[in-house]
Chain A
Amino acid sequence: MFDSLSDKLQRVFKNIRGEGKLTAENMEVALKEIRVALLEADVHFKVVKAFMEGVRTKALGQEVLSSFSPAQQVIKIVRDELITVLGTHTARLRTANQPPTVVMVVGLQGSGKTTSSGKLARYLSKNGHRPLLVSVDVYRPAARQQLAVLAKDLGIPIYEGTPEETKPVDLARSARREAEISGRDMVLVDTAGRLHIDEDLMTELSQLKEALNPTEILFVADAMTGQDAVKSAEEFHKRLGITGVVLTKMDGDARGGAALSIRHITGQPLKFVGTGEKSDALEAFHPDRAASRILGMGDVLSFIEKV
């Protein structure tokens, strides 16, 4: 699909005189290519700008390593910097001192909240927890039924609510009580999809947060998201204080630049990656893999190691 960045850069440096060295001049040309690669990966343009500044400063101060070609060197600098920004270690879910730990799952419509809630429940129970699921999506057709089907397949209990419980806050409170009674140590709350500009529904999330005192508020984002990722993540973070991000649909070929944008704008760690529709398709986030992917070069490791 895309010319790999390493090919492009090698061409760039071939066309420049004195290709053997990394100079301020030839680096500008290389940085331009990297800028395009980041934009084509859907990294927000403002984030790209800020990021490139950092890279330029780093690169100029760098000692020339004779074992690396200029192309390799620039890529290494960019990739290292990307990894730093994306977070250097893989995060985990935190638990409350006093169980049950409440995890709220939030995000835009169709991003993968319900599916991810099921996946997280499975992951937690595999790791010695006793999760309880609850859907507070009282809006979308068959949304609660969707989670109920997933829960049943997984053999994980779900709080289904009573006919009188039509409000998200009521459902969530009862689920929490149910967890206390039945000795469940974690409650996963699947919320309805909403736009970050929907005042009423954003207020509803704040109320849920107040009522539940969640330990984690996970923002579920679609890896295919473009420039708008920054706006929605920023608003969800501003309103709720998200504690982590789940990046879904990474089993496709989207480069997932949204990861960098969201991380840059919220400062919150990417915790999990969704890699399929089935309940076991959940992985820990690996900054190094994500960096290579954003640069459009799955081959970057071999490229650098080839030396």
Chain B
Amino acid sequence: MLSLLDRLKQGIQKTRTGLVSKVEDVLLGKKEIDADLLEELEYTLISADIGVRTANEILEGIRQRVDRHLVNDPSELRQLISEHLLGVLEASDRPLNFAAEAPTVVLMVGVNGSGKTTTTGKLAARFSGEGKTVLMCAADTFRAAAIEQLEVWGQRTKSDIIRQSQGSDPSAVVFDALHAARARKSDVLLVDTAGRLHTKSNLMVELEKMRRTAGRVIEGAPHEVWLVLDATTGQNGLEQARKFTESAGVTGLILTKLDGTAKGGIVVAITRELNLPIRFIGVGEQAEDLLPFEPEKFISSLFEA
């Protein structure tokens, strides 16, 4: 077995060779911090989906330090950028909100195809691995075979599922599942919801209703609402996070598909603007391909040679 840190490093290898090696390429052999160098750096950050605004903010900070002669050497820039990113991610870090009295209810939300169902399955594996009893709720009653997909994950992780038939009211399934979780004294209830674009107000209202239903059955539920975000998402991710936070009260982010070449830089803009912690990262399609997100380790693995 690989250690957690090794797996994390392996998982974000692509990220590292992408962003960091590029920053290093840019800095290599440069004697002066000039406009060209800063422009190159801006492109490097933008290519990681960090966004023009956030990239410019980082660079503005650097420019000011250069003007005040606090930094002279391009080799110091790497450290500055890494510290800045870490600062952004750490500012929003906070402990998980597990319910004092079981069950802890987690609502999984996000746009279509981001990885909600898969991540729900991975979380079931993870929590049962920690000795918790897990119940899953198939609240995606819309997409073809979405319930069957979650059922396979139920078998894989030996967790029970609360389901109704396709087309039924998702809030009704949530209602059933919360009662079941309480009756069975499950530790964790994971609610998989249908993918929806944040621009569809009727679907966002449906999500609000699921959330209210949960709170009516168990006070304080859902305790966590995780927005599942595809690492390949570009600048639209920020708008997704805003709208889902408004309607569903998002409490954390999960970044999936980091095993590809995407860098997931949009989460920097999201955490910065919405003060949301990143909880887990997805690095594959199997149950074990989910890793806890730790800002320091993430950034340090990013910037390690």
The answer to whether A binds B is yes
- Distance to closest chain B CB from A38 (angstroms): 10
- Distance to closest chain A CB from B96 (angstroms): 26
Bound together, the chains give a CA A153 to CA B167 distance in angstroms of 13
User: Residues 247-271 of chain A: 1 if any B CB is under 8 Å from the residue's CB, otherwise 0?
Assistant: 0010111110110000000000000
Are B48's CB and A227's CB within 8 A? Answer: yes
- Note all chain B residues with C-beta closer than 8 A to A108: 232, 257, 260
With both beta carbons as reference points, the residue of chain B lying nearest to A43 in the complex is identified as B234
Are B235's CB and A41's CB within 8 A? Answer: yes
Q: Which of A5-13, A59-67, A126-134, A136-144 contacts B (4 or more CB under 8 A)?
A: A136-144
- Note all chain A residues with C-beta closer than 8 A to B145: 142-143, 145-146, 148-149
A185 at the interface (CB under 8 A from B): no
With both beta carbons as reference points, the residue of chain B lying nearest to A151 in the complex is identified as B144
B247 at the interface (CB under 8 A from A): no
Taking a contact as CB atoms closer than 8 A, the residue among B142, B151, B235, B240 that contacts A226 in the complex is B235
- Note all chain A residues with C-beta closer than 8 A to B199: 251-253
Bound together, the chains give a CA A44 to CA B262 distance in angstroms of 13
Given contacts A227-B49, A227-B234, A251-B197, contact A141 B144 (CB under 8 A): no
- Note all chain A residues with C-beta closer than 8 A to B111: 224, 249, 252
Q: Which of B76-84, B86-94, B112-120, B123-131 contacts A (4 or more CB under 8 A)?
A: B112-120
- Note all chain A residues with C-beta closer than 8 A to B224: none
Are A252's CB and B52's CB within 8 A? Answer: no
Are B234's CB and A112's CB within 8 A? Answer: no
Q: How many residues of B contact A (CB 8 A)?
A: 49
B261 at the interface (CB under 8 A from A): yes
Among B121, B144, B260, the one with the most A-chain Cβ atoms within 10 Å of its Cβ is B144
- Note all chain B residues with C-beta closer than 8 A to A232: 232, 260-261
- Distance to closest chain B CB from A48 (angstroms): 9
Bound together, the chains give a CA A114 to CA B143 distance in angstroms of 11
- Note all chain B residues with C-beta closer than 8 A to A40: 51-52, 235
- Distance to closest chain A CB from B49 (angstroms): 4
A277 at the interface (CB under 8 A from B): yes
A36 at the interface (CB under 8 A from B): yes
Are B49's CB and A226's CB within 8 A? Answer: yes
**Total contacts A-B at CB 8 Å:** 143
- Distance to closest chain B CB from A170 (angstroms): 22
Are A228's CB and B113's CB within 8 A? Answer: no
Given contacts A141-B149, A197-B260, A254-B236, contact A149 B113 (CB under 8 A): no
- Note all chain B residues with C-beta closer than 8 A to A54: none
Q: 5 closest Cβ contacts across the A-B interface?
A: A226-B234, A110-B113, A42-B234, A141-B152, A149-B144
Query: Which residues on B are within 8 Å of A, measured CB to CB?
Result: 14, 43, 46-49, 51-52, 111-115, 121, 142-146, 148-149, 151-153, 166, 195, 197-200, 230-237, 239-240, 257, 259-263, 265-266, 285
Task: Kindly list 19 other residue pairs between chains A and B, CB separation below 8 angstroms, not including A146-B143, A195-B257, A252-B236.
Answer: A36-B52, A40-B235, A41-B235, A42-B234, A110-B112, A112-B112, A142-B151, A143-B149, A146-B144, A146-B146, A224-B111, A224-B233, A224-B237, A226-B237, A232-B232, A251-B200, A252-B197, A252-B198, A253-B199
Q: Mind listing 21 A-B residue pairs with CB under 8 Å?
A: A42-B49, A45-B47, A108-B257, A109-B257, A110-B230, A114-B144, A141-B149, A142-B145, A145-B148, A195-B257, A195-B261, A196-B260, A197-B14, A222-B113, A222-B232, A226-B237, A228-B261, A229-B232, A232-B260, A253-B197, A253-B236
Query: Which residues on A are within 8 Å of B, measured CB to CB?
Result: 1, 36, 39-42, 44-45, 108-112, 114, 139-143, 145-150, 153, 195-197, 222, 224-229, 231-232, 249, 251-255, 257-258, 277
